[in-house]
Chains A and B, each alone.
Chain A
Amino acid sequence: MSIALVWLPRYTWPMKHRWKTLLGDTLILIACILALVVITKQTASGGSGYVQIQSSEATYRYSLNVDREVTVQGPLGETHVVIEDGHAHIEDSPCPTKSCTFQKPISSARSWIACLPNQVLLTVVGSDSENQEVDDVAN
């Protein structure tokens, strides 16, 4: 850059017609900055977050973008979690009342579903905080 600073006055300053290019250059610069701002905003808000599944044995994390079925082990047996269309819910669990399977699928940050008898907890983390809902405890 220091080279440019020494040369700039000598080679570009006296040339008056350089001013003509100022408009085009500025337009391009503004367009680039605008695009940069838009892209930065998109990448910052992008990614629909992930669901964290805590069981008595380990913690698992899955992206909500990819549909899949996950089985985790609890003291009573296997709990089946289904992730589809950016939502997660408990499909089946070896608990007596099965009330956790009736919980609404979760997708927004900090919402959660729990199956207390089998010690499984689903939480959504890192999603863009649209409208945070609070589900009831399912046992």
Chain B
Amino acid sequence: MSQTERKIAFISATTLLLSSLEYLIPKPLPFLRLGLANLPLLIILDGMAYGPFLMVLLLKAIGQGMVSGTLFSYLFLISLAGTLSSGIAMKGAKHLFGARVSLVGCSLLGAFVSNLCQLQVASWVAYGPSIWIAAPLMLALGMATSFALGLLAEIYLQRGTTGKALTQGTLSLAIPPTAERTPHKHLLFASLLAIVAILLARGLITLAVITALMYLLQWVAGRKIRIIPPVMLIFSLLMLSLFEPNGKVLLSVGSLAFTEGSLTIALTKALRLLSLLAASQSLSASNPKIEGKAGTLLALTLAYFSLLTRSFRATKGSVIERVDQALQATAEGNGTDKTPPTVHKKPINITLFLFIVASVLAVALISRVVY
């Protein structure tokens, strides 16, 4: 592992730490994001070449997908589009303007481009063109938060120690112990089969049954089940259905109306997306292994991330001080024991897992015949 590779993995791990920290900050609105994970990207903007920077972007997106279990779903595509486009825009702006632009300007541009790309990809893979109704609000909020983030980055670069050491290349990084996790081949195959079944299924009732089964599968796979995100997804798809009327009017307020056809379409879409998300969670639980150099870098990133989280929990003080201390401790490789984190996970009940996937497949096939 060369120093550059360690640096790439270390910075990517920092973005993962910050994106999990962002979950802890209370937010007035659920979709208002500060984009804390972009802070390390801004800080290394000047000190890193295009190649490694692109690598950091990819590792950030894939790492976030791995940690949240959404790597094998449409959400990953949206997040990848946002990360890549904003990274390239910020790097490009810094390259073009050089000293004539601050991190505030780069952050503004990055967030704007990222939001545009995310909306476009979201309209392709999940929501349909009516998602653009949300564009003005999303873009305006993004401008406000990215402005604040740019200021934070400028301040951190002058105050924090690790950021400076990273950009000046004076930081030498220790290699963390990596945890070896055994991939479950048949669980991987079964999860992929479930995805095929979800895509084949027809009809609202079928998909409701499949969604229930897929959540059961996610639970059997030992992944945490969250309530708010699915509720938000269903709610937003129902709201968007107001703008694409289709069929019998069930309830109308002024020029907006819930129609039978568009409600059915929205619910079908929501259930299919939720099932696919659950499938992605189950697939993540099977510990899929990525081969080659990218896989090694990803493993290193996740190892740094696990060290960072543990060091962060052990520190005290303000959040910025704690992040700084955690970064220092992880970089030096001290402060924590050298053993990889032990995983206290219940083993997955493979028979039950395969039985649920078989049921999903059966339901999907029956729906093909009935409809």
Contact = CB atoms under 8 A, between A and B. Distances in A.
Contacts of B257: 61
A29 B108 CA distance: 7
Contacts of B104: 21, 25
A35 B142 CA distance: 13
A36 B140 contact: yes
A36 B105 contact: no
Interface of A: 1, 4, 7-8, 11-12, 17-18, 20-21, 23-25, 27-29, 31-33, 35-36, 39-40, 42-43, 46-47, 50, 52, 58-63, 65-66, 125-126
Interface stretch (B72-80, B170-178, B247-255): B247-255
Interface string B98-112: 011110111011001
A46 B248 contact: no
Interface of B: 93, 97, 99-102, 104-106, 108-109, 112, 132-133, 135-136, 139-140, 143, 148, 151-152, 154-155, 158-159, 243-249, 252, 255, 257, 259
Nearest to A21: B102
A14 to B, nearest CB: 11
Contacts of B101: 21, 24-25, 28
Contact of B244 (A18, A20, A63): A63
B136 A4 contact: no
Chain B contact surface mostly: helix
A36 B249 contact: no
Contact of B108 (A32, A43, A60, A61): A32
A138 B238 CA distance: 37
Nearest to B159: A11
A84 to B, nearest CB: 16
Contacts of B105: 21, 24-25, 27-29
B108 to A, nearest CB: 5
A40 B136 contact: yes
Given A1-B148, A4-B148, A11-B158, A61 B93 contact: no
Given A39-B135, A58-B248, A25 B152 contact: no
Contacts of B102: 18, 21, 24-25
A78 to B, nearest CB: 15
12 contacts: A11-B155, A11-B159, A17-B99, A21-B102, A29-B105, A36-B139, A36-B140, A39-B132, A58-B249, A59-B248, A62-B247, A126-B255
A73 to B, nearest CB: 12
Nearest to A37: B136
Contacts of A12: 154-155
A52 B151 CA distance: 51
Contacts of A40: 135-136
Contacts of A36: 112, 136, 139-140, 143
A52 B371 CA distance: 29
Contacts of B136: 36, 39-40, 43
A82 to B, nearest CB: 15
A61 B159 contact: no
Given A4-B151, A28-B108, A43 B259 contact: no
A32 B114 CA distance: 12
Contact of B109 (A32, A46, A52): A32
A8 B151 CA distance: 8
A32 B259 contact: no
B249 A59 contact: yes
B10 to A, nearest CB: 25
B253 to A, nearest CB: 13
Nearest to B137: A40
Given A23-B100, A36-B136, A7 B259 contact: no
Nearest to A1: B148
A69 B259 CA distance: 17
Contact of A62 (B97, B155, B245): B245
B135 A43 contact: yes
Nearest to A58: B248
A20 B99 contact: yes
